[in-house]
Structure 1
Amino acid sequence: MAAEEEKKLEKSVDELNQQRIDLEKEINNLNLTKIEKLESINGELETKIEWLDKERIRATKERDNLLRKVRHSKEKNWKNALKMVAILGVLDLVVIPLIITLLKIPLQWIFVSMGLVTFFGVMLIVNYMSGTSPFNTGEIRKAITVSFLTVYLAIVPMAYGMVIFPGGSSALPIVNNLSWLMGAIIILYFATRPLEQYIKTIYEKK
């Protein structure tokens, strides 16, 4: 009986040893699988990092190119705007007086013509510089202010006898009235913008 029990114990020990060996093999296999998975994930991450680096470099180059284009575009816009201002000045100072003189139109119409040409010219220039498609209130406000200022500066010399209306009528009352009107326009020009911002802020809060 003792011999049989000893054999059974030895057999049990051998089975346990075999199970231990099998478990060690399974553990090693699992570790290898995990290591392979980790290496695969690491490789994928490195590939993604390289791709992201390339994308970052490409995005940086595109941003630099875009900034360079915008800078050149702004320079071009300013040059074109200066050309438009020069053309507007030639129209106001040379072309309109020349046409009025050649056609023998009454002198008063020179100021109407200057106001209209300046209004539309400034509105086009401001709209061109802003890059917006429709005309907004700010552009129209600037155009009105500049056109009135141009007409006002053209009429001011009349108050000092530099220009006299046909019939010898004095221009001083007109200049005085325009001075009040010009002051009101300037006040409204600087006052309406904060008012617009305030109203916009109230609507945004609602």
Structure 2
Amino acid sequence: MTEEREELEKRVDELYKERISLEEEINNLNILKIEKLKSINEELEKKSEWMDKERIKAIKERDNLSRKVRHSNEKTWKNALKMVSILGLLDLVLIPLLVTLLGIPLQWIFVSIGLVTFLGMMLIVNYMSGTSPFNTGEIRKALTVSLITVYLAFVPLMAFGMVAVPIGLGTSAQSVVTNFSWLIAVVIILYFSTRPIEDYIKKM
């Protein structure tokens, strides 16, 4: 009986020690988990702070870029207006002055205005498009503007009798102006109708 009791007490002591050992292991595991969670939390806080800094940096860069783009657009428009002013000065003042001073027949003023306007508008449109090759409709726009400019110069000079158009084969100045007007109308119609066709072809 005494032996059984001693054995039982011994067994109880072993179980108690095992319980204490398990509690210690559990405590150690809890401590490790807590430390690991703290470490993860610190890393997350650092990442969150870094992301906040990067977000603020990205916002500042976006604001700076938008300001640069706005200033660049303003500068582009100012330069374009300067170029248009120079082109207008050439067409309205310099070319007529040179034609008059050099005694060149007045009919050549239309050729000069057409060429200068065509080349000038091609450069201006290309500058505004921001592309290097002439693949954004510069030639079509320049051709349309140059023809309209020549037309607007031709009609008043014809109306005031400052330009004598060679008349032959039963034609008259009125018929020349009418045919030229039809030509300009066709050019304008083609200008506005070809762009949707190009967009449609690109989407196909």
Partner of 1:104: 103
Structure 2 CA distance, aligned partners of 1:185 and 1:168?
25
| Maintained 8 Å contact 2:119/2:142 | yes
Structure 2 CA distance, aligned partners of 1:11 and 1:149?
115
| Maintained 8 Å contact 1:96/1:110 | yes
Partner of 1:83: 82
1:49-68 correspondence to structure 2 within 5 Å: 49-68=48-67
- 1:62-106 CA distances to partner (integer Å, 9 max, x unpaired)? 111111111111111111111111100010011111111122222
Note the C-alpha offset of 1:179. Answer: 0.8
Partner of 1:175: 177
Structure 2 CA distance, aligned partners of 1:29 and 1:57?
41
| Maintained 8 Å contact 2:96/2:109 | yes
Note the C-alpha offset of 1:166. Answer: 6.8
| Maintained 8 Å contact 1:158/1:171 | no
| Maintained 8 Å contact 2:129/2:136 | no
Could you tell me which amino acid in structure 2 is paired with residue 117 of structure 1? Answer: V
Note the C-alpha offset of 1:174. Answer: 2.4
Structure 2 CA distance, aligned partners of 1:160 and 1:104?
22
Residue 139 (str. 1) matches residue 155 (str. 2): no
Q: Percent identity?
A: 69
TM-score (norm: length of structure 1): 0.92
Using the TM superposition, name which of 106-115 and 158-167 deviates more. Answer: 158-167
Partner of 1:12: 11
Gaps of 5+ in 1: none
| Maintained 8 Å contact 1:164/1:171 | no
Could you tell me which amino acid in structure 2 is paired with residue 171 of structure 1? Answer: A
Moved over 3 A (4+): 166-171
CA RMSD of aligned residues (A): 1.6
